[in-house]
A and B are shown apart, each in its own frame.
Chain A
Amino acid sequence: MNDNALKGVMILPRKALQTLTEPMYYVLLALTKELYGTEIMNEVRRISAGRIKIGPGTLYTMLDKFYSAGIIKCTNKSLTTKSYIITEEGKRMLREEYARLSTLILDGDKIMEVLE
């Protein structure tokens, strides 16, 4: 590789939750309205037309992370089953991820047009 190509480029480790995985993205989409555990799983299935299935283990590991990072908040702590909703910080992340994915699509479109 040409050394000049690396000049001025600083490679930083990716921060946690900086780029959302596919299930994370869908869970945040689902949490734009207040939902509890099973409802979130069903909502993700609905939004993705059954393509994405999230099990309770995966979901609650994710919710723990989101909650600790302040991306979601709990709306009814007193009840046995808690429900959650996305926070302003979470919405910002979701928008950023949406923009990033859109850029990927646009960049891909340019190449795909040439291919086709």
Chain B
Amino acid sequence: MARTLILDTSCKFMVVGIASNEKILYSTQIECFQRQSEIAMDEVYKALEITKTDPKKISKIIVTVGPGSYTGIRIALTIAKVYANALHIPLVPISTMRAMAGVKGRKISLMDARSKRAYIGIYDGGEKVVDDSVMTIEEIEKLLDNYKGYKLVGDTHLLNVESEEIDFVKNLYELGKNETGVVDVGNINPVYLKDK
């Protein structure tokens, strides 16, 4: 049975999911900022064990590529690249902003980029409206007037708005399940946005 591995470590969570045939078999989202390196592989192992998935039977990987914590993005993406490369399976890279927005509705994704700045992504039904970027909080506040009816997700506390928890595994699976992905994974690299 074809199984998809879903990974994200680009913000404060360690996200691991296993899905198959439109069904999410396993999903975990642990808050563990800056500890992803130690626990990531153990969590993947756990996910495979619980779903009785042979590690070699993973047939596709969906992973976030940033923007986000530089070190964080690289944890999941290193695993995903090395995994997909070893088994010659496709990798579906997805923007973290898009993963936050999900497939439904009009969304503005925000992630704290420190120094009074944030990463911002604007999405409508999972499709980007403008490119992800990094802006100051002030710039974002001004921008919001142009996007009435868009719902804020992610680090909404930056704009003093209450937030809802994002289900990353669900969003990533819905966004990536119909994508063919890339088999030549060598060129898939993090999207840092800042400090180009």
Partners in one complex: no
B: residues with CB less than 8 A from A are: none
